[in-house]
Structure 1
Amino acid sequence: MINEFRDFIAKGNVMDMAVGIIIGAAFTAIVSSLVGDLINPIIGLFTGGVDFTNNYAVLSGDVADGASLEAARETGASVFAYGSFIMAIVNFLIIAWVVFMLVKMVNRVKDAAMKKEEAPVAEAPKGPTQEELLMEIRDALKAQS
């Protein structure tokens, strides 16, 4: 059983998947930073700095007016945090768009590399067919007689 497990782990697909997961985790940090630190502030410029994160509705409990979402949660009140959900959707859409553009770019580079590999090799000139050779031999024999 241990040998089977070792063979399974040693297969290329499992190793490729492990590398993909590790790279994906690192890539997630990069894309999250891109969205949070670069894209969201630019979107904030166009929307007048609107940030839905602290929008919520109090379902039960006492919360001071104008309190942040964290402050409302600390009081133990039951809150319906619709603003966080809206921002999560916006962030998802932005991240999905960035990933789509990166995948599209990688596919374009891959296709260009494949086209270079598949470049047609100059074909050697074709020689005469068997029939053409036989006709030449026949004509040469007729000319000798």
Structure 2
Amino acid sequence: MLQEFKDFIAKGNVMDMAVGIIIGAAFTAIVKSMVGDLINPFVGLFMGGVDFTNMYVVLAGEVAEGASLEAAREAGAAVFAWGSFVMAIINFLIIAFVVFMLVRYVNKVKEAAAKAEEEAPAEEAPAGPSELDVLLEIRDALNK
């Protein structure tokens, strides 16, 4: 089992996966900022100026009315933070859409490259002597 693990680690796919995870983490930070700084204000504007990420319901504990979600959590109250959950879903959908667009673009580039290879004229093999030429050479060699 240890040898299988070493073989797995030694493969190039593991390095590709590690790079993908690191890029994904950076990408997630960008999307989080985009959602929090660009999309949430528009959602709040359409909802009458309400901060969507601070939508929650207090299940147990005392929280001052109008307190932020962070303040409610710091007060030790049990909160049902449905606004954060909705924002997590929005983040996921945005990330999934962007990844879909990237994969779609890469697939189109691959298809275009494959078509270009198919359409490129194949190099013909150099014409060698025909069967008749070879037989004539053999005959001439035997006659000598």
Q: In the aligned structure 1, how far is the partner of 2:95 from the partner of 2:49?
A: 20
Mean CA deviation greater in 95-104 or 32-41? 32-41
TM-score by length of 2: 0.65
Asked if 2 retains the 8 angstrom alpha-carbon contact of 1:59 and 1:78, the reply is yes
What's the secondary structure of 1:64's corresponding residue? Answer: coil
Asked if 2 retains the 8 angstrom alpha-carbon contact of 1:55 and 1:81, the reply is yes
2:19 is matched with which residue?
A: 19
Distance 1:8 1:54, change over 3 A: closer
- What are the equivalent positions in structure 2 for 1:1-145 lying under 5 Å apart? 6-121=6-121
What's the secondary structure of 1:65's corresponding residue? Answer: coil
Ranges in structure 2 where 5+ consecutive residues have no aligned partner: 125-144
Asked if 1 retains the 8 angstrom alpha-carbon contact of 2:31 and 2:94, the reply is no
What's the secondary structure of 2:62's corresponding residue? Answer: coil
Asked if 2 retains the 8 angstrom alpha-carbon contact of 1:32 and 1:95, the reply is no
Distance 1:11 1:72, change over 3 A: closer
TM-fit CA distance, 1:10: 2.5
User: How many residue pairs were aligned?
Assistant: 124
Identity among equivalent positions (%) equals 77
Ranges in structure 1 where 5+ consecutive residues have no aligned partner: 125-145
TM-fit CA distance, 1:71: 1.4
Distance 1:91 1:75, change over 3 A: same
Asked if 2 retains the 8 angstrom alpha-carbon contact of 1:63 and 1:77, the reply is yes
Q: In the aligned structure 2, how far is the partner of 1:82 from the partner of 1:53?
A: 8
Deviation by residue 1:13-47 (Cα, 9 ceiling, x = unmatched):
22332332233333333333333334444555555
TM-score by length of 1: 0.65
Q: In the aligned structure 1, how far is the partner of 2:11 from the partner of 2:96?
A: 31
Distance 1:3 1:23, change over 3 A: same
TM-fit CA distance, 1:54: 1.0
Deviation by residue 1:72-117 (Cα, 9 ceiling, x = unmatched):
1122121111111122112222222222222212221222122222
What's the secondary structure of 2:9's corresponding residue? Answer: helix
2:127 is matched with which residue?
A: none
